[in-house]
Amino acid sequence: MPDKKLIKSDLTKILFFGDVSGTLGRQGIKKMAPLWKEKYQADIIIANVENLAHNKGLTLKTMAEMAEAGVEMFTGGNHIWKKYEIEKMAKETDYKIAAPANDSRCPEKYLFQITEVNGAKLAVINLNGRTFMEHETTLSNPFIKIDKLLSQIPKNTNIIIDMHAEATSDKRAMGLYLDGRVSVVLGTHTHIPTADAQILEKGTGYLTDIGMVGAYPSVLGIKQEIIIEKFLTESRIRHDLPTTGQIEVNAVLLEIDNHSHKTTDIKLLREIISPTG
């Protein structure tokens, strides 16, 4: 017997932007988030904001810019603690931030976020990989942590995991480990979009890295000449971000079945734009 044709109320469509990096990244979100939401009829916008304020951390001002652009849920990473005290953010605002849950510095309020979208519960969890990652002393095993967290998520919930990791093996292993247990596993942190958007064997959507929203061309959103000089001299050099020029915008468009909580479609979106045109 053929499957019943899904209607809009059976699905949740999600637009998830990769690491938003600095001024140009924020401009990219302001321009493309509303356009893509309308074009693809997305029900909710999510973004990784660990690089929001000059590539490291976030501030009240930069978070307000993202909320005004239509971003409703946020994920973090190893740099989310850099600018504004995350404990203070938790006490003073109601932003739905999922910070790295396996980081001992994560406030309880930010261990995960749950909201209702299109009549279905949606949970967002952020984890930090440990391979080649700084702050390894504050990070517990993300594979053990996710098992504990999933036991706290209500049944019949769409679940998105942002696996913020340096090593592709961390991300891939997490995707396979959670296949059939969560709706989707998305990688962030390396700022380079990967070409492996797929639905795994048991129905979990997967992408190794969404990529970033930031300066183009650049290295991780940082001025290219600075990073090239760093490699040439093998020295520590202060990072600086372009504030003018083109912007690369990378996001993933997800479609999740509200009944099975599995991914029915996953597509990488990428566009190079100018801030004004």
**Active site (catalytic) residues:** 79
219: phi > 0 → left, psi -120 to 50 → alpha, else beta; which?
beta
Q: Looking at the DSSP assignment, which residues form a beta bridge with residue 98?
A: 75
Are the beta carbons of 105 and 78 closer than 8 angstroms? no
Are the beta carbons of 176 and 199 closer than 8 angstroms? no
- The H or E element that residue 96 is part of is strand 96-98
User: Mind giving me the DSSP string for 114-131?
Assistant: EEEETTEEEEEEEEE--T
Are the beta carbons of 201 and 137 closer than 8 angstroms? no
* Alpha-helical regions (H) of the chain: 22-40, 60-68, 86-92, 142-150, 168-178, 224-233
> What distance in Å separates the CA atoms of residue 213 and residue 270, rounded to the nearest whole number?
9
Are the beta carbons of 246 and 216 closer than 8 angstroms? yes
